[in-house]
Amino acid sequence: MKLRCLGCSALAAFIAAALWLVSAPIAAQQGGAAAAAVQTPQTLLPWAFQVAPPGAKRHDDGKPHTPPGSTQPGMMQPQIDDPYGPPDWFPSDHPPMPEVVAKGRRPAVRACAQCHLPNGLGHPESANLAGLNAVYIVQQMQDFANEARKGSAIMTGMAAAATPEELKASAEYFASLKMQPWNKVVEVTTVPKTFVGAGNMRFAIEGAGAGTEPIGQRIIELPEDPVQAELRNSHSGFVAHVPPGSIKKGEGLVTTGGNGRTLRCSICHGADLKGLAGVPGIAGRSPIYLVRQLYSFKNGARTGVWAPLMKGAVEKLTVEDMIAIAAYTGSRTP
């Protein structure tokens, strides 16, 4: 089963147009007339706010596939990608899923397990929900619905359409799951050349165009096994490539505040960074997801109930600081 980026997909085009719509207009003069040059997170931090180009499509070889170790019947790629019936390859790994998690509700509420997986560990372009406080999860959905948390038209629509019972059931399900190691963080000077495929997941380029490039000040998060990631295999995790020295720098920022650059994360997230009361754990979670959240808090894309608690922590942070914090927290045992 080979990965390719081809064809035309209305869903990918919709996501590319709608995902992470947070903009900061910059006035520009051209030919004596003022023109608005709009910069978005996708243009400023494309490695974190990864969006597939219009036309990205998963390769379908017309054959059913099953991940290693699964006893479930094989599924073809269109079935795997069905937002109202994603695969559950390892049902014995988790409690029974509520209907809203397993199947969703047509037409407005997709199955939560499609993006966040039945084990709640999710993909870097979505979010890791396993072990989060249920009250916190419900509040985030309410923030999406009220557009106090911007950035995903899909989540905004789903949150607005979900019933209180569905929100409660899904939140309690993900809260019941154990957070597990899912992202391996490694410091490197170079990374594979990559592309963002359908569904907004990043992959290493294979064949023509393959090679490496300096990592610079970026985090490049890739699946351990790209084929298994496309199958939504909940036993196949991710590798976050981070700049040299970023873990150590992040440790200083997280544990001491970096001489006033930020606040000690343990104040709210707990000494082990695994959460405190309703505050979410950040240890071991996706580094690029955490960068997106820090950036969104700083730039006004997250203004919900919890946002004031983050204001003092993010106001002085540079993108390089965010990378370091995410590298360190992502390297911690969840």
Across 164-193, average pLDDT: 98
Q: What percent of the chain has pLDDT over 90?
A: 85
pLDDT of 38: 61
CA–CA distance, 143 with 68 (Å, rounded to integer) = 38
What is the per-residue pLDDT for 2? 42
User: Residues 200, 51: contact at Cβ < 8 Å?
Assistant: yes
Q: Which positions ≥6 away from 254 have C-beta within 8 Å?
A: 264, 265, 266, 273, 325, 328, 329
Distance (Å, rounded) from C-alpha 76 to C-alpha 126?
A: 22
What confidence score (pLDDT) does residue 30 get? 37
Reported confidence tier of residue 42, pLDDT bands at 50, 70, 90: confident
Predicted confidence (pLDDT) at residue 24 exceeds the cutoff of 80? no
For residue 296, being part of any structural domain is answered with yes
Write the CA distances from 159 to 46, 142, 152, 163, integer angstroms: 26, 7, 11, 8
> In 3-state terms, what secondary structure has residue 105?
strand
Tokens read off for 329? 């927290």
Predicted confidence at residue 108, as pLDDT, reads: 95
Residue 121 in any domain: the answer is no
pLDDT of 6 > 80? The answer is no
- The answer to whether residues 61 and 55 touch, using CB atoms and an 8 Å cutoff, is no
Domains of the chain: total? 1
Instruction: Look at residue 1 in the predicted model and tell me its pLDDT.
Output: 46
The mean per-residue pLDDT over the stretch 285-313 comes to 95
Q: Does residue 109 lie within any of the structural domains?
A: no
Compute the mean pLDDT over every residue in the chain, rounded to the nearest whole number.
90
* pLDDT greater than 50 at residue 4: no
User: Which percentage of the chain shows pLDDT scores above 70?
Assistant: 89
pLDDT digits (tens, 9 = 90+) for 88-117: 999 999 999 999 999 999 999 999 999 999
Residues 217 and 33: their CA atoms lie apart, in Å, by 35
pLDDT value at 253 more than 60: yes
Query: Is position 234 within any domain?
Result: yes
In a domain, 210, yes or no: yes
Position 36 pLDDT exceeds 80: no
User: Quick one: pLDDT band at residue 3, thresholds 50, 70, 90?
Assistant: very low
Rounded CA-CA distance 16/164 in Å is: 29
- The pLDDT score that the predictor gives to residue 33 is 40
Written as one letter, the residue type at 58 is R
User: The domain that contains 283 carries what CATH number?
Assistant: 1.10.760.10
pLDDT at residue 191 tops 80? yes
134 vs 29: which has the higher pLDDT: 134
pLDDT at 148: 96
Give a yes or no: residue 83 inside a domain.
Answer: no
* 76 domain residue, yes or no: no
Q: Is the pLDDT of residue 8 over 90?
A: no
The pLDDT score that the predictor gives to residue 20 is 36
Residue 21 lies in a domain: no
Give the domain extent around 274.
183-331
Mean pLDDT over 56-69 rounds to 95
CA 129 – CA 174 distance, rounded (Å): 6
